[in-house]
């Protein structure tokens, strides 16, 4: 009675989906997706950070009609969640990114395609039903190779370019060494420039595939000026860099640590969100990527200042478990959990979600409500801007 239906009794949570999907991925690919760099401190903390904040539900509110819709990439979406870029979807299921795209389209959410996708950007966007798509770009040394990806995305109708800014070099991912990670010889990466060795796309001395470790804010501005797509910078963890991103002309920032796959020991994304939102919210968009495993996590991120959230591993687990239907199942779980959280916290729309819906433990062990963000806090913003100039 009064219970939302779940179509699969074996998978009633994202933790279940991770467990069942990982079983089908096998050791090499399962660890590739589930692990990160070094000792996995940041990877594990990404999810644990949400548990360090508690909810403060409000009651006796009419929540007979809860609206979770919002806007992202200039498009109305059904909820503040989309698929962030993740490489090699075809390792999880033959339908790859096309299957992921179909599930996103049916759910009315957006999707960002990885440069290292196993389906072309045109094939992925062709599955759309009015939802929007973004293209991710990891800057490489050869400028023309970067523009090759940008122009293909523009022609395919992408509504945003997501520029990864935390990849001056590749993080040290121990599972890839231990498992001698490699791609199947038949796997293709059609979005890379012609002639790039698709089975070793981020190593060696090929300037068309080697990360640009001389990537600066001047190059960010140059890239923004070279495309008609709005540009979002993914990999921002500090207020200082968020302000520099706004100054460079970015439409938004995605608070991300690459899913714990780059710098181990870096801040969890949820822990970094508040400072970034305090610095630039209202000036540019603030999104969050990393660690979301429950609908209540989405609620907490919105409360703390995120305009939108992204998940990268959830569609991988869904694909591995049951292809496109598995991805749809993961989205249904998160959607139902967000609906329940909003209802029990007395929030009819996303605009009703406030920081005061959250509580954080104090030094004396008691829990205190967070203060609602006010634009009168511009003094903090000005102070942070001065720090960014140092």
pLDDT score at 158: 98
Residue with more model confidence, 198 or 383:
198
The answer to whether the annotation marks 86 as part of a ligand binding site is yes
Q: How confident is the model at residue 5 (pLDDT cuts 50, 70, 90)?
A: confident
**How buried is 18 (Cβ within 10 angstroms: 0-12 exposed, 13-18 middle, 19+ buried)?**
buried
The answer to whether the annotation marks 85 as part of a ligand binding site is yes
Q: Is 94 helix (H, G, I), strand (E, B) or coil?
A: coil
Q: In the CATH hierarchy, which top-level class contains the domain 14-389?
A: alpha beta
Instruction: Report the C-alpha gap between 112 and 350 in whole angstroms.
Output: 22
Strands 111-113 and 133-138: parallel
Instruction: Report the C-alpha gap between 277 and 305 in whole angstroms.
Output: 5
> Per DSSP, what are the bridge partners of residue 23?
none
pLDDT over 70 (residue 212): yes
Query: Is 122 within 8 Å of 155 (Cβ atoms)?
Result: yes
pLDDT over 70 (residue 15): yes
pLDDT over 50 (residue 24): yes
Tens digit of pLDDT for each residue in 75-119?
Answer: 999 999 999 999 999 999 999 999 999 999 999 999 999 999 999
Residue with more model confidence, 294 or 387:
294
pLDDT score at 373: 77
| Cα 378 from chain centre | 28
Strands (E), 130-219: 133-138, 160-164
Token duo for residue 43: 């990877």
| Nearest by Cα to 253 from 273, 281, 233, 280 | 233
Q: What percent of the chain has pLDDT over 90?
A: 89
Q: How confident is the model at residue 387 (pLDDT cuts 50, 70, 90)?
A: low
Tens digit of pLDDT for each residue in 107-162?
Answer: 999 999 999 999 999 999 999 999 999 999 999 999 999 999 999 999 999 999 99
For tokens 């959410």, what's the residue?
109
Q: What percent of the chain has pLDDT over 70?
A: 94
Phi, psi of 45 (to 5 degrees): -70, -25
Instruction: Report the C-alpha gap between 41 and 38 in whole angstroms.
Output: 8
Distances (CA, A) of 177 to 31, 33, 122, 309: 11, 14, 33, 31
The answer to whether the annotation marks 375 as part of a ligand binding site is no
| Nearest by Cα to 242 from 154, 302, 307 | 307
Distances (CA, A) of 258 to 73, 165, 330: 21, 10, 21
pLDDT score at 376: 45
What helix, strand, coil percent values describe the chain, rounded to 5? Answer: 45, 15, 40
Q: Is 232 helix (H, G, I), strand (E, B) or coil?
A: strand
The answer to whether the annotation marks 292 as part of a ligand binding site is yes
pLDDT score at 7: 80
Terminal Cα-to-Cα distance of the chain (whole angstroms): 59
Instruction: Report the C-alpha gap between 308 and 302 in whole angstroms.
Output: 7
Query: Is 108 within 8 Å of 77 (Cβ atoms)?
Result: yes
Q: What is the mean pLDDT of the chain?
A: 94
Distances (CA, A) of 208 to 165, 181, 275: 17, 22, 35
Mean pLDDT of 281-292: 97
Distances (CA, A) of 151 to 193, 206, 228: 11, 21, 10
The answer to whether the annotation marks 164 as part of a ligand binding site is yes
The answer to whether the annotation marks 10 as part of a ligand binding site is no
The answer to whether the annotation marks 114 as part of a ligand binding site is yes
Query: Is 327 within 8 Å of 85 (Cβ atoms)?
Result: no
Q: How confident is the model at residue 199 (pLDDT cuts 50, 70, 90)?
A: confident
Q: How confident is the model at residue 204 (pLDDT cuts 50, 70, 90)?
A: low
| Nearest by Cα to 342 from 81, 44, 12 | 81
- The catalytic position among 89, 93, 148, 258 is 258
pLDDT over 50 (residue 39): yes
pLDDT score at 390: 52
Strands 367-369 and 358-361: antiparallel
pLDDT score at 2: 72
∠ CA 231-232-234, rounded to 5°: 140
Q: Is 217 helix (H, G, I), strand (E, B) or coil?
A: helix
Query: Is 175 within 8 Å of 181 (Cβ atoms)?
Result: yes
Q: Which residues contact 343 (CB under 8 A, 6 or more apart)?
A: 63, 66
Q: How confident is the model at residue 384 (pLDDT cuts 50, 70, 90)?
A: low
pLDDT score at 379: 46
Tens digit of pLDDT for each residue in 225-275?
Answer: 999 999 999 999 999 999 999 999 999 999 999 999 999 999 999 999 999
Instruction: Report the C-alpha gap between 277 and 165 in whole angstroms.
Output: 18
| Nearest by Cα to 30 from 170, 176, 172, 136 | 176
The answer to whether the annotation marks 313 as part of a ligand binding site is yes
pLDDT score at 201: 45
Q: Is 258 a catalytic residue?
A: yes
Range of lowest pLDDT (187-201, 226-240, 270-284, 313-327) = 187-201
Mean pLDDT of 33-48: 98
pLDDT over 50 (residue 279): yes
The answer to whether the annotation marks 32 as part of a ligand binding site is yes
pLDDT score at 386: 59
Domain boundaries, the chain: 14-389
Instruction: Report the C-alpha gap between 277 and 53 in whole angstroms.
Output: 17
Query: Is 194 within 8 Å of 166 (Cβ atoms)?
Result: no
The answer to whether the annotation marks 204 as part of a ligand binding site is no
pLDDT score at 336: 97
The answer to whether the annotation marks 261 as part of a ligand binding site is yes
């Amino acid at each position: 009675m009064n219970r939302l239906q779940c179509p699969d009794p074996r998978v009633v949570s994202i933790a279940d989906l991770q467990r069942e999907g990982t079983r089908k991925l096998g050791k090499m690919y399962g660890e590739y997706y589930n692990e990160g760099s070094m000792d996995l401190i940041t990877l594990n903390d990404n999810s644990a950070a949400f548990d360090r904040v508690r909810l403060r539900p409000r009651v006796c509110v009419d929540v007979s009609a809860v609206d979770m819709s919002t806007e992202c990439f200039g498009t109305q979406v059904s909820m503040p969640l989309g698929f962030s870029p993740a490489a090699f979807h075809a390792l999880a299921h033959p339908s790859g990114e096309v299957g992921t795209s179909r599930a996103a389209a049916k759910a009315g959410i957006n999707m960002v395609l990885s440069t290292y996708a196993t389906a072309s950007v045109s094939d992925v966007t062709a599955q759309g039903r009015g939802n929007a798509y973004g293209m991710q770009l990891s800057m490489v040394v050869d400028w023309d190779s970067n523009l090759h990806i940008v122009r293909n995305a523009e022609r395919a109708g992408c509504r945003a370019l997501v520029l990864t800014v935390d990849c001056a070099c590749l993080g040290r991912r121990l599972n890839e060494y231990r498992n001698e990670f490699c791609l199947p010889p038949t796997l293709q990466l059609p979005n890379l420039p012609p002639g790039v060795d698709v089975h070793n796309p981020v190593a060696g001395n090929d300037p068309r595939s080697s990360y640009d470790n001389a990537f600066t804010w001047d190059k960010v501005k140059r890239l923004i000026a070279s495309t008609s797509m709005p540009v979002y910078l993914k990999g921002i963890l500090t207020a200082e860099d968020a302000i520099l991103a706004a100054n460079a002309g970015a439409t938004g920032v995605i608070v991300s640590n690459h899913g714990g796959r780059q710098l181990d020991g870096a801040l969890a994304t949820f822990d970094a969100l508040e400072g970034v939102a305090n610095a630039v919210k209202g000036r540019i968009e603030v999104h969050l990527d990393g660690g979301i495993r429950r609908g209540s996590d989405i609620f907490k991120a919105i409360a703390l200042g995120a305009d939108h959230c992204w998940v990268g591993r959830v569609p991988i687990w869904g694909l591995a478990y049951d292809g496109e239907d598995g991805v749809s199942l993961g989205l249904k779980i998160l959607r139902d959990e967000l609906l329940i959280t909003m209802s029990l916290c007395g929030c009819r729309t996303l605009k009703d979600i406030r920081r005061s819906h959250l509580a954080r433990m104090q030094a004396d062990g008691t829990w205190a409500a967070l203060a609602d963000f006010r634009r009168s806090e511009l003094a903090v913003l000005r102070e942070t801007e001065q720090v960014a100039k140092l």
